[in-house]
């Protein structure tokens, strides 16, 4: 390569600065030497520069590295994505938390807005009108749309309606014609809600009144404190408010202004909140009792309470707006000037009787229905049904003061027809209390009332003139009654004269009384009897009678008393009037005679007539005098007599003998007795002879003999037979009249009376009887043998009965009496009959009729079979072959001639064969039977029962109650829970093993569920001897999860002993299987997730709603500030 070629080839590298220094020098050298090459270099350099310029804008600046580094570092500072996510999550959480907090605040009602209480009270509840009256409130029921607020300025009243929902409706209205004005209706639904929130300090409870239109709600206050009335904070109340405050319940009860005792049940207070205006809203209500107006400062002026009573239902909008009160005020000022010196604080001011015929509707305001007249004229209220009354504080009733009235108004329920009378009564009482005469019911008009008012005077100054005039009248009426009182009394006293003296003394003490007459006479027995007639003024009679009874009662006795009265008013007045007429006639006649006119004949006739009339007059005057006398003094007749003491004249002794004699021959004995009586010169008053059944004879004999003969007769009677009863009674009786006391009383003996009964013993029970129960082998034979024996011994068979129900159960009853001499013989006979199971000897009581000549036997013969054995053995026998044992026993019983009582073999269940075998065998055969039982099986239990000693039972026999069974209770019960791999196969091998040791599989039950869990339950019975072996085998098969061993020591041991093994085989299963599928769990968690999501979303939305306005506000503020700042910067100053 030539130097030129090298030069051109490396020209690019040269320009790029890639050549080494040597090469650069070489190239520079060549360019200096070769012009063409130098030119090529220049051209190439230019081209290179051209290209470089073209690309120049992209050239890296000198500080490229720094800039890249700076920017790189800045980008490094960027928040990493993870942090951003975390921040975002935090922001979301913050928003959510804000939302949750806001939500909670709203829910708890803690977000209060300015004026919140009004907002809450409002709605249907309340409003404040222009003059500051709170005119309405109340209902909080759902149907808020139905409630309007009363906003009729100034004269707004509550207009409460009962809505169809039963709640309260408030409305404004100037129309009272709906008849519902002034009625509150409170229903229960309001109760819960009326406690308006946010009004804690000034919430008053309003008592309601019921609408009265339909009379339905006339019950008055429905629910105390059921409504709230709102009084905003202190100074804000300008005037009054309608509605009420329950004095008793309001916390500011004193301020509520309801004077006196206001009960929650019947009052509603209206409070005038402020001094500037009186309660203007009083008119909307019917009311009939006092409204309390409390003036001024309540605390200081508690004793000066004015009471207003409005009784009318005024026209809506007419006299309201404070006008009535203004009038009252004006009046009270003037009135107070007059009554300043009076002590009465309360004065009736106005009272107006309603005019029934003048309904107060829409009376014009220009002629106010509430008015007052100067002077003493009271406030007059026109009303339709009731009345108005205003009491005021007379002492301090200046206009200014009255304007400061704080009024408490009691609203009572609207009066109903039923209430009317009560109201009138109450008002009358009120009137009386006020010392006024009621003007009610007179129907007088306004002017009349006013006129009457002028005459009225307060109690303090009014004299008792009216009362004094009227008082005597009732007394005169009492005096006009003419009553005559008379009486009779009878006393038994010891001394007559003392009694008369006492009567006289008592009479002397009574003014105007005297003893009229005293009669007395001496009786045959020397006693005195007499009568005292006294005259006593009627008013003293009762007292006298009482005194007399007391005085004479000490020594004597009141035997009878009769006090009577008769009303003669009619007769008296008749006579009086006739007398007046007669006197008139007399006067006329006298006048005729005096005048002397007319003919002589007439005059004579008049004279005669006059005489007749005078006679009549005198008669009548006499009658009147008599009546006056009788009426003026009561007549009491007192009869007194002395007591008499009676004594007996002589004593009479009477003897009475009763005898019962047992005789062999009754008839003969009776004859003997009669002969004896005749010999003793006695009197036979009764004798009879009766023959009863069974040859029983009875004779009765009643006779009387002289006392001297009585003893002989008695002895004679005793010989007749055995005296079984002897009774002698002596009696002494007083006889005759009144022998003087203290004398010796004579006595005499009367004839002795005998009552004798003679009888034979044919039907008399023996004194001693033997009651025997016997067990005999052949009842009928022994029975007949006995009967023969009794008849041979001349005994008497009383009862004989043979009952042969069946061959084994025969029964005989034989009661017989034999002569006492045959007793030993019969004792032997009876003992030979058979086994005596019971023996009882009875004796007749001493009082009973019985004889010793006979002995009684009461035998009960029973066959052997009918008597139970005394001893019974109850055996439980286990036998492997029950039927065989049963049959063997049967054969044995037949062989031993046992008495089989019950037989039962039950083979229904092969594994549980039972047999019942009840047999009675003779005691001697017991051993044979026991041996048989030992062969048949094993006796598991043995119990012996004995019949109670008192009961009939045989000792010759022994009873066996055998129960045979082949189901032998296990001596040991083993529960095994095994866990094995293959349940089914294990079960099979177990069964085989059990059968190998001669055991039995009694149950085998297997289940397998869907989850693959298999359970097999096997029950084995194995011989007790093989128990250990088989248990070990079973345990070796699988894993033992549980085992339980129970031993029954009562079970048989020995050859029949068994063990019971319950095996429960399970395969390996999950320890805690899920009881719920996957899907329900997924579904439930999805549900939770969705709920949580929606709640979170809700919180987020609320949070955003809370924060967004703030963010917006902040952003706008920021923009504004920036703009202002920018403007400042740009605006030249």
Partner 1 sequence: MVSYLMVAMNDSDSTLVQRAQRGDRAAFDELVRRTSRLVFARLHLDTGDVHLAEDLLQETLLTAYKSLGQLAEPDKFRAWLLRIAANTAANAFRHDRRQKRTPPDHLRLAAGTAPEPIQRLEDEERRQQVLDVLRALPEEYRLPLWLRYFGGADYETIQAQMGLTNGSLRGLLHRGLKMLREECERAGLTH
- Minimum distance from residue 67 beta carbon to partner 1 (Å): 5
Q: Which of 775, 784, 835, 859 is nearest to 809 (CA)?
A: 775
Give the shortest CB-30-to-partner 1 separation in angstroms.
18
Smallest distance from partner 1 to CB 59, Å: 4
Instruction: Give contact residues for partner 1 (rule: CB under 8 A).
Output: 9-10, 12-13, 16-18, 47, 50-62, 64-65, 67-69, 71-72, 75-76
List the one residue out of 535, 514, 506, 489 whose CA is nearest residue 640: 489
* Residue whose CB is less far from partner 1, 14 or 886: 14
Nearer to partner 1 by C-beta: 65 or 214?
65
Task: Give the C-alpha separation, 322 to 329, whole Å.
Answer: 10
Residue 44 beta carbon to partner 1: minimum distance, rounded to whole angstroms: 8
- Contact between 1066 and 1015 under an 8 Å Cβ cutoff? The reply is yes
CB of 5 to partner 1, least distance (A): 14
By C-beta, is 39 or 941 nearer to partner 1? 39
- Min separation Cβ 54 and partner 1, Å: 5
Nearest to 244 by CA among 158, 326, 370: 158
502 within 8 A of 638, measured Cβ to Cβ: no
| H or E, element range at 1041 | strand 1039-1047
Q: Write down the residue that tokens 């409390």 correspond to.
A: 294
Question: Please, what is the minimum distance in Å from the beta carbon of residue 76 to partner 1?
Answer: 8
Q: Tell the smallest beta-carbon distance from residue 88 to partner 1 (Å).
A: 21
Helix (H, G, I), strand (E, B) or coil at 398: coil
In 805-953, DSSP assigns E strands to 810-819, 835-843, 850-863, 869-878, 899-909, 912-922, 938-946
What is the Cα Rg of the chain in Å?
Answer: 68
Residue closer to partner 1 by CB (options 60, 1079) is 60
Beta bridge partners of 245: 269
CB of 2 to partner 1, least distance (A): 18
Residue whose tokens read 């007052």: 372
CB of 37 to partner 1, least distance (A): 17
Give the nearest distance from C-beta 27 to partner 1 in angstroms: 14
- The answer to whether the beta carbons of residues 387 and 440 sit under 8 Å apart is yes
> Which residue lies nearer to partner 1 by CB, 59 or 608?
59
Which residues lie closer than 8 Å to 362 by C-beta, 6 or more apart?
A: 315, 316, 318
Residue 811, token pair as written in the block: 């029964």
Report the distance separating Cα 467 and Cα 435, nearest Å: 11
Task: Give 67 or 543: the residue with its C-beta nearer to partner 1.
Answer: 67
Question: What residue ranges in 470-606 does DSSP mark as E strands?
Answer: 483-493, 514-522, 528-536, 557-567
For partner 1, give the closer residue by CB, 59 or 437. 59
**Phi and psi dihedrals of 631, rounded to 5?**
-70, -40
- Tokens 């093994």 correspond to what residue? 1061
User: Smallest distance, Å, CB 1100 to partner 1?
Assistant: 29
Q: Which is nearer to partner 1, 69 or 1008 (CB)?
A: 69
> Any residues with CB less than 8 A from the CB of 355 and at least 6 apart, and which?
382, 383, 384, 443, 445
Looking only at the bridges linking them, the beta strands covering 305-309 and 290-295 are antiparallel
The two counts, helices (H) then strands (E), for the chain are 28, 39
Comparing CB distances to partner 1, the nearer of 44 and 376 is 44
CB closer to partner 1, 48 vs 404: 48
- DSSP letter string, 323-357: HHHHHHHHHHHHHHHHSTT---SEEEEEE----TT
Q: Which is nearer to partner 1, 65 or 1009 (CB)?
A: 65
991 contacts: CB under 8 Å, gap ≥ 6? 1001, 1004, 1018
Task: Decide: 27 and 14 in contact? Cβ < 8 Å.
Answer: yes
Tell me if 560 sits within 8 A of 488, measured CB to CB.
yes
CB of 63 to partner 1, least distance (A): 9
Q: Which is nearer to partner 1, 8 or 1064 (CB)?
A: 8
Q: Do the beta carbons of residue 962 and residue 873 sit within 8 Å?
A: no
| Phi, psi torsion values for 954, nearest 5 degrees | -105, 140
- Residue 786, phi then psi, degrees to nearest 5: -65, -45
Residues in the chain: 1133
Is the CB of residue 410 less than 8 Å from the CB of residue 260? no
The nearest distance, CB 1111 to partner 1, in angstroms, is: 24
CB of 91 to partner 1, least distance (A): 24
Tell me if 397 sits within 8 A of 296, measured CB to CB: no
Residue 1087 CB, nearest approach to partner 1 (Å):
40
To partner 1, the closest distance from the beta carbon of 21 in angstroms equals: 13
Class of residue 151 by CB neighbours under 10 A (exposed 0-12, middle 13-18, buried 19+):
middle
- CA atoms of 168 and 130, how far apart (whole Å): 23
DSSP class of 60: P
Task: State the minimum distance, in angstroms, from the CB of residue 38 to partner 1.
Answer: 18
Are 233 and 151 in contact by the 8 Å Cβ rule? The answer is no
* Residue tagged 């470089």 (tokens): 52
Taking each helix axis from N to C end, the angle separating 707-718 and 666-679, rounded to the nearest 10 degrees, works out to: 160
Nearer to partner 1, 48 or 975 (CB): 48
Query: What's the rounded Cα separation, in Å, for the pair 573 and 565?
Result: 18
Judged by beta carbon, residue 10 or residue 1031, the one nearer partner 1 is: 10
């Amino acid at each position: 390569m030539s130097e030129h070629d090298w030069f051109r080839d490396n020209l690019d590298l040269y320009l790029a600065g890639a050549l080494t220094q040597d090469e650069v020098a070489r190239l520079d050298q060549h360019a200096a030497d070769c012009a063409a090459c130098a030119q090529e270099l220049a051209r190439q350099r230019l081209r290179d520069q051209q290209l470089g310029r073209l690309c120049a804008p992209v050239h890296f600046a000198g500080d490229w590295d720094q800039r890249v580094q700076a920017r790189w570092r800045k980008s490094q500072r960027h928040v990493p994505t993870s942090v951003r996510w975390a921040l975002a999550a935090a922001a979301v959480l913050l928003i959510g938390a804000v939302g949750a907090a806001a939500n909670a605040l709203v829910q708890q009602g803690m977000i209060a807005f300015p004026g919140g209480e009004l907002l809450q009270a409002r709605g249907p509840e309340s409003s404040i009108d222009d003059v500051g009256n709170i005119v309405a409130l109340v209902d909080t029921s759902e149907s808020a749309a139905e409630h309007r607020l009363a906003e009729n300025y100034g004269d707004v009243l509550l207009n409460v309606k009962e809505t169809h929902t039963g709640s309260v409706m408030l409305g404004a209205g100037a129309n009272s014609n709906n008849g519902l004005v002034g009625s509150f209706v409170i229903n229960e639904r309001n109760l819960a809600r009326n406690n308006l929130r946010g009004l804690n300090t000034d919430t008053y409870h309003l008592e309601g009144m019921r609408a009265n239109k339909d009379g339905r709600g006339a019950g008055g206050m429905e629910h105390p404190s059921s409504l709230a009335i709102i009084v905003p904070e202190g100074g804000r109340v300008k005037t009054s408010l309608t509605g009420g405050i329950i004095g008793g319940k309001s916390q500011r009860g004193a301020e509520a202004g309801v004077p006196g005792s206001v009960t929650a049940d019947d009052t509603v207070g209206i409070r005038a909140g402020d001094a500037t205006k009186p309660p203007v809203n009083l008119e909307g209500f019917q009311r009939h009792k006092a409204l309390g107006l409390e003036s001024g400062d309540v605390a200081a002026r508690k004793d000066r309470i004015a009471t207003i009573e409005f009784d009318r239902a005024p026209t809506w909008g007419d006299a309201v707006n404070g006008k009535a009160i203004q009038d009252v005020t004006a009046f009270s000022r003037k009135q107070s000037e007059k009554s300043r010196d009076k002590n009465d604080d309360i004065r009736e001011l106005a009272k107006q009787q309603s005019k029934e015929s003048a309904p107060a509707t829409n009376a014009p305001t220009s002629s106010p229905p509430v008015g007052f007249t100067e002077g003493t004229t009271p406030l007059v209220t026109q009303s339709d049904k009731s009345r108005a009354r205003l009491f005021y504080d007379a002492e301090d009733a200046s206009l200014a003061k009255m304007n400061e009235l704080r009024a408490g108004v009691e609203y009572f329920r609207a009066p109903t027809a039923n209430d009317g009378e009560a109201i009138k009564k109450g008002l009358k009482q009120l009137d009386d209390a006020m010392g006024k005469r009621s003007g009610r019911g007179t129907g007088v008009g306004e002017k009349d009332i006013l006129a009457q008012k002028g005459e009225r005077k307060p109690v303090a100054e009014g004299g008792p003139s009216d009362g004094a005039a009227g008082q005597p009248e009732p007394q005169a009426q009492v005096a006009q009654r003419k009553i005559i009182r008379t009486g009779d009394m009878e006393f038994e006293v010891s001394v007559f004269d003392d009694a008369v003296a006492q009567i006289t003394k008592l009479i002397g003490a009574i003014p105007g009384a005297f003893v009229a007459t005293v009669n007395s006479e001496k009786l045959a027995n020397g006693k005195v009897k007499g009568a005292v007639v006294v005259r006593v003024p009627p008013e003293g009679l009762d007292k006298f009678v009482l005194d007399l009874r007391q005085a004479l009662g000490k020594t004597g006795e009141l035997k009878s008393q009769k006090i009577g009265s008769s009303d003669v008013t009619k007769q008296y007045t008749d006579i009086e009037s006739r007398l007046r007429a007669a006197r008139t006639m007399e006067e006329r006649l006298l006048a005729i005679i005096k005048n002397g006119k007319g003919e002589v004949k007439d005059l004579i006739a008049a004279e005669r007539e006059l005489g007749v009339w005078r006679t009549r007059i005198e008669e009548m005057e006499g009658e009147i005098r008599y009546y006056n006398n009788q009426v003026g003094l009561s007549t009491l007749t007192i009869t007194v007599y002395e007591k008499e003491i009676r004594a007996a004249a002589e004593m009479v002794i009477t003897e009475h003998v009763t005898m019962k004699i047992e005789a062999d021959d009754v008839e003969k004995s009776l004859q003997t007795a009669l002969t004896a009586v005749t010999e003793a010169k006695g009197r036979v008053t009764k004798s009879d002879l009766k023959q009863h059944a069974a040859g029983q004879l009875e004779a009765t004999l009643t006779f009387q003999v002289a006392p001297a003969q009585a003893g002989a007769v008695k002895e004679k009677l005793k010989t007749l037979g055995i005296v079984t009863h002897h009774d002698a009674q002596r009696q002494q009786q007083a006889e005759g009249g009144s022998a003087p006391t203290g004398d010796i009383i004579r006595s005499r003996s009367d004839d002795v009376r005998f009552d004798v009964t003679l009888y034979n013993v044919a039907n008399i029970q023996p004194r001693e009887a033997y009651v025997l129960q016997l067990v005999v082998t052949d009842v009928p034979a022994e029975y007949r043998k006995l009967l023969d024996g009794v008849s041979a011994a001349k005994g008497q068979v009383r009862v004989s009965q043979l009952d042969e129900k069946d061959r084994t159960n025969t029964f005989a009853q034989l009661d017989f009496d034999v002569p006492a001499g045959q007793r030993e013989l019969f004792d032997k006979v009876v003992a030979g009959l058979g086994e005596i199971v019971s023996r009882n000897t009875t004796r007749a009581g001493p009082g009973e009729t019985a004889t010793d000549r006979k002995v009684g036997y009461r035998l009960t013969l029973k066959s052997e079979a009918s008597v139970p054995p005394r001893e019974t053995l109850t055996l439980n026998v286990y036998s492997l072959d029950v039927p065989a044992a049963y049959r063997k026993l049967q054969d044995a019983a037949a062989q031993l001639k046992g008495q089989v009582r019950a037989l039962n073999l039950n083979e229904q269940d092969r594994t549980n064969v039972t047999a019942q075998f009840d047999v009675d065998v003779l005691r001697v055969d017991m051993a044979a039977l026991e041996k048989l039982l030992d062969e048949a099986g094993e006796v598991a239990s043995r119990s012996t029962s004995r019949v109670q000693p008192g009961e009939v039972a045989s000792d010759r026999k022994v009873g066996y109650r055998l129960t045979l069974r082949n189901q032998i209770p296990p001596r040991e019960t083993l529960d095994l829970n095994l866990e094995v791999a293959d349940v089914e196969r294990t079960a099979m091998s177990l069964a085989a093993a059990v059968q190998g040791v001669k055991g039995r599989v009694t149950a085998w039950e297997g289940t397998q569920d869907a989850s693959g869990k298999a359970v097999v339950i096997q029950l084995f019975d194995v011989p007790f001897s093989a128990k250990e072996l088989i248990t070990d085998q079973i345990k070796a098969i699988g894993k033992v999860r549980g085992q339980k061993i129970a031993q029954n020591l009562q079970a048989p041991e020995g050859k029949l002993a068994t063990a019971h093994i319950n095996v429960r085989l399970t395969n390996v299963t999950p320890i805690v299987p899920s009881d719920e599928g996957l899907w329900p769990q997924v579904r439930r968690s999805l549900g939770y997730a969705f709920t949580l999501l929606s709640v979170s979303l809700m919180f987020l939305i609320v949070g955003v709603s809370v924060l967004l306005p703030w963010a917006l506000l902040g952003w706008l503020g920021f923009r504004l500030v920036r703009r202002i700042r920018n403007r400042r910067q740009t605006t030249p100053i």
